[in-house]
Structure 1
C-alpha cells in the first residue's frame, strides 16, 4: 500500500503546487510593487522551492540538436532503430554527406538503475564528434503493461545480444556502471557461441564486476541485508491508473530516496543555496541547480525480477567473479573471450563502485591478448565523473576513442603490424599497473564532478 499512499500524497499536494505557482508569478510580476523587495523575492523563491521539491519529474529530453564533426557543425537527429517492450535503441544520426566519414559505431549501454538514459547526455555529446552513437533507452517499468511479460537479468543480456545482432557486430560496446556485468556476460555468451556479431571491443566504466574488492557502502548494504530483506521492504506493485498496473517493481521514488540519503547534507545545502541564489537574483547559479536536479530527480521503476536478480547475482553471491553466474541454463565464462578488446575505466574517488572492482574484468577475461586490453584510472573524480563532466571530456573520452579506433575492425587490418599502437598514451595495461594503484582513500563524492 506504500506506493498507493505515495501516489495519493502526490495528488493531494497538486492544489498546493498550483497555488505556489500562482503566488510565485504574483511576486515576479514587474507591476507588483513587492517584486523588487526582499520580501517579494523571498516569497517567490520559497514558492519555487516548494513546487520543485514536491513535483514528479518526467523523463528529460536528450536535447542534442547539433555536434561538431571535423570542424563543421552538423545537425543531430534521434531515431529509434530497434525496440522491445522494455527498451529502445536510439541512434543519434549526424547530418553528414553520404560517404563523407566512416566513424566507428558505439553502443552506449546506459544504467538501468533508477535514472533514465538521459543521464548520459554528456557522454553522448563527448562521443558524437568521432563516433556513430547508439544508446539503450530503457523504459520505465510502470509504463509497460503486465501482458508484455517479465524482464530480468537474463532478458537484459538477451537484449544486448539482440542489439549487437541488429548492428551486425559493427558497434563497440560501452557499459556505464551497472551494465558492466550483463555486458560482460553478453560478450562472454557470444564468444562461447562463436557469434560473428561479437563486438570489436568493450569498454567497462565504473562497473561492479567484483564487489568483494574495496567494498563501498552500497555493496555492504546488500551483503548485510540479504535478498529476503529487499523482497520484503522495497518491492511493490504499480498502482492504478499507470499502464503497468499490478506489475511488481522497485519504485523509482524509493531508489531516489536511497540516492539522496547517501549525501543528504549536500542535497540540503544545494537547495538552501538555490533559495539564496533566487533571492539574490543569481540566475546563472539557479539555472545550474535546475538543470542538475531536473535530471537527478527524474527516476524510473525497475521490474522486481530484474532488481532482485541483479542484487543477488552481483552484490550478494558475487556469481560472476566466482565463476558461478548463469545465463538461463548456461554458465557464463569470460575466459571464452578472445576476439574482443577490453578497456576498463575507474575513478579514483568513486564511492559507488570501489577502486579495483572494474579492473577485476581483466582477471576474468584471461584469454584476451595483452595487446588488446588496457586499464585507466582517472585521478580526482568520483562515480559521476567517470562518465560525465570536464575530466571525462578532456581526459577519459579521448582515451576511449583512441582505444576504439585502434581496435576497430575496419582499421585493424591495416594496423596488424603495429602491436605497440594498441595501448593509447597514458593508458597502462592491467598487467603493467602497480598493485598499489588498486587501493586508495575515497573522500565523499561531489554531486557534480
Structure 2
C-alpha cells in the first residue's frame, strides 16, 4: 500500500513540480519581462529549488564519450557485452586510428568493476570508470531497477548475485582479468572467486576490494547497528513492498528506491538541508558553477532503484546478522564458500579513514580469510581523510587511490614468471597487510 500511496502522491505533485520548473525559467530568463521585476531572481531560485525537490530523478547516463590517452582524445562507446534479466554487463570500448595507440591499448589489463546493488545506479561509479579507462579495458555491472523486471523473470537472491559474477568472469575471461568491487559486492565477489577456485576454475589475476562489509563485526557503523537491532521479520514486514501497476515488474516484491533514499537523507539531514540552502543562495547570487555542481551531485544521488526483496533480505541475514562469510559457514547453492581456496589471485583491500558505512577493518578482514594468497601478493591501503565515497570518486580517488590501484594491477598483469620476479625485487614496504 505504501508504494501505491507514494505513486499517487508523485502523480498529484507532478503538475505543481512542472509549474515550479516553468516559473524558474520565466523569472530567470533574461528574455522575459518578468525577469526584470523586483525579486525575480529570488522567485526563480525558489521555484527551481522546489522543482528539484519535487521532481523524479531517472537513472543518469554514464556519458563517457572520450578519454585522453597519451595526449590524444580517444573516443569511447558504451556496449552491452551480456544482457541478463537483473543486470547488464557493459563494456566501455575505446577506438583510435593511431596504430601505436591501438597496440598499446591492446596489451592493457582488463578490469571488471562490480558496482553495488544497494540503492544507487552503477553510474555512481562514473568517476571510477572514467579514471580507469586510459590505462585499462573496462567492464562494469549495470544492475537493473527491479521494478522494471517482469515478475515472470523469477526471484533474484544473493546466491543469484554470486552466480552472475561467476558468469561475467567466465564471459570476459579470467586469465587477464582484474576485478574491482566497490562496497556491498565485495562479499559476493569474494564468494564467487572462492567457489571458482575450489572447483579448479581459472580465477582473476587480482582482486581490489574497496569499502566493503566483509566482516561487519569490525568497527560497526550506524548502518551495521540498524541491521542487527531488528529481526529479519521486521525488515520483511516494514521495508518490503509490492511494485504497483504501470511498471513491468508489477507484483514483484522489492525494497523500494524511495524508501532507501529516505534512509540516505536521514543519515545526514543537516548536511542535505544546508546543501539545498547553499544551492538557493548560489542561484540568487548568480554563482552558476556552484549551482551546476549541486545539480550534478543530486541528479546522481537522488536517482535510486528498487532492490529485489529476496536479495535484500538475504544480504541482511547473511552479511549483517549472521556474518556467515567470516565465520566460514556460508553455503551458496549447496557449496561452502572457502576463501582460503584462492591461491593464484593477488589481493588489495582499500578503506577510508572516515568511512561511516563500512568501518575500518571490515574490508581488511578479507586478508584473514584469504590464507591461500601469499603475503607477498596481499596489500592494504587506508586512505587518510576519506569517507566512503572518497575512496572511489573525487579528488582523493584520482590522486591518492587510483595510482596505487593502477600500479597494483600492472604488477599482476604480467605472466606468472614475471610476477614472481617482480615480487622478489619489490620493496618490503609494498608487502604490507
Pairwise CA distance, 1:328: 1.4
1:416 aligned onto 2:420:
yes
Structure 1 counterpart of 2:115, from 92, 107, 110: 110
1:131 aligned onto 2:106:
no
Please list the CA deviations of residues 38-85 of structure 1 after superposition, one character each: whole Å capped at 9, or x if unmatched: 511111111111111111100100011111222322111101111110
- 1:50 alignment counterpart: 50
Structure 2 unmatched runs, 5+: none
- 1:181 alignment counterpart: 187
1:167 aligned onto 2:172:
yes
1:255 aligned onto 2:257:
no
Change (3 A) 1:412 1:421: farther
Pairwise CA distance, 1:278: 0.7
Match of 1:320, SS state, is: helix
Structure 1 counterpart of 2:281, from 276, 295, 308: 276
- 1:444 alignment counterpart: none
Which whole-Å CA distance do the structure 1 matches of 2:349 and 2:426 have between them?
14
Please list the CA deviations of residues 394-446 of structure 1 after superposition, one character each: whole Å capped at 9, or x if unmatched: 111111111111112x44433422324567x965521xxxxxxxxxxxxxxxx
Change (3 A) 1:238 1:289: same
Q: TM-score, normalised by structure 2?
A: 0.96
Structure 1 counterpart of 2:152, from 140, 147, 152: 147
1:352 aligned onto 2:357:
yes
Pairwise CA distance, 1:326: 1.2
Contact map agreement 2:26 2:34 (CA 8 A) in 1: no
1:429 aligned onto 2:419:
no
Which whole-Å CA distance do the structure 1 matches of 2:355 and 2:422 have between them?
35
Change (3 A) 1:416 1:271: same
Change (3 A) 1:421 1:256: farther
Which whole-Å CA distance do the structure 2 matches of 1:405 and 1:38 have between them?
61
Please list the CA deviations of residues 346-403 of structure 1 after superposition, one character each: whole Å capped at 9, or x if unmatched: 0000010000000000000111101111111110100000111111101111111111
Please list the CA deviations of residues 209-245 of structure 1 after superposition, one character each: whole Å capped at 9, or x if unmatched: 0000000000000000121110010000000010000
- 1:88 alignment counterpart: 88
1:77 aligned onto 2:77:
yes
Change (3 A) 1:69 1:23: same
Structure 1 unmatched runs, 5+: 431-449
- 2:9 alignment counterpart: 9
Which whole-Å CA distance do the structure 1 matches of 2:398 and 2:179 have between them?
18
Moved more, 230-239 or 18-27: 18-27
- 2:385 alignment counterpart: 380
Please list the CA deviations of residues 82-105 of structure 1 after superposition, one character each: whole Å capped at 9, or x if unmatched: 111000111111113443431000
Change (3 A) 1:212 1:415: closer
Contact map agreement 1:348 1:378 (CA 8 A) in 2: yes
Pairwise CA distance, 1:22: 2.2
Which whole-Å CA distance do the structure 1 matches of 2:62 and 2:429 have between them?
32
- 2:322 alignment counterpart: 317
Pairwise CA distance, 1:25: 2.2
Please list the CA deviations of residues 112-153 of structure 1 after superposition, one character each: whole Å capped at 9, or x if unmatched: 000000000000111111100100000000000011111110
Contact map agreement 1:375 1:427 (CA 8 A) in 2: no
- 1:339 alignment counterpart: 344
1:66 aligned onto 2:66:
yes
- 1:203 alignment counterpart: 208
- 2:198 alignment counterpart: 192
RMSD between aligned residues: 1.4
Contact map agreement 1:406 1:422 (CA 8 A) in 2: no
Which runs of structure 2 are paired with 1:207-222 in the superposition (5 Å)?
A: 207-222=212-227
- 1:39 alignment counterpart: 39
Contact map agreement 2:347 2:377 (CA 8 A) in 1: yes
Match of 2:125, SS state, is: helix
- 1:299 alignment counterpart: 304
Which runs of structure 2 are paired with 1:219-238 in the superposition (5 Å)?
A: 219-238=224-243
Change (3 A) 1:261 1:85: same
Which whole-Å CA distance do the structure 1 matches of 2:287 and 2:178 have between them?
43
Which whole-Å CA distance do the structure 2 matches of 1:295 and 1:417 have between them?
44
Pairwise CA distance, 1:171: 1.5
Contact map agreement 1:154 1:327 (CA 8 A) in 2: yes
